[in-house]
Chain A
């Protein structure tokens, strides 16, 4: 099925461990995004990539790094996980020119717990 695929779906980390969240889209979209969702906070943008080879910080980038590996893939890395990074992470993609008409397509999320 076409869309945005995130892996893994669930992960438990110990404080200080590192991990990479993977995201891939097969809709040939130029733009990709990483959000975190926390109770009462809605969705907050961590990083985004407007096109292959570019990345920019969003609202809450501290403690994260990203890589736009190619047009399809956009990964999010936690170098040293902290309990404050316990959250649900969503990847999304859009076609820049048609975003105002079609919005974003979201993945199903990664539920991360840092203990």
Chain B
């Protein structure tokens, strides 16, 4: 069946540090892959997406590349800010959405 595995959190980084949040998936067919972000007290917002192998999704300085050979979609940002503190969810589409368990990121000044 379809599933998504995310790295365990929480993650704490200093401002301007490099961020990587790992995401691997298991899926049949050719799913689309997504990263969602949840700020405190809010719902999930779409951060970026990739719909086919080797696509790179990007938004707000975040990037992720759809790697079919390693079944991965790792989220990266070169220089995090305090305002990036949130919970990040990796997800894929099958006949429905499958979400990872979320990774909490805290950025300290």
A positions within 8 Å CB-CB of B: 4, 33, 40-43, 45, 48, 58, 90, 92, 99-109
Contact = CB atoms under 8 A, between A and B. Distances in A.
A33 B98 CA distance: 13
Interface string B44-77: 1110010100000000000000000000000000
Interface of B: 31-32, 34, 36, 41-46, 49, 51, 89, 91, 93, 96-97, 99-102
In the complex, the 8 A-B pairs of residues with the closest C-beta atoms, listed nearest first = A106-B43, A42-B101, A100-B32, A106-B44, A43-B99, A108-B43, A103-B46, A42-B99
A42 B5 CA distance: 11
Is chain A's interface secondary structure helix, strand, loop, or mixed overall? mixed
Contacts of A45: 96-97
B44 A90 contact: yes
Contacts of A104: 44, 46, 97
A107 B44 CA distance: 8
A40 B101 contact: yes
Nearest to A44: B99
Contacts of A33: 96-97
B73 to A, nearest CB: 13
Contacts of A102: 46
Contacts of A48: 96
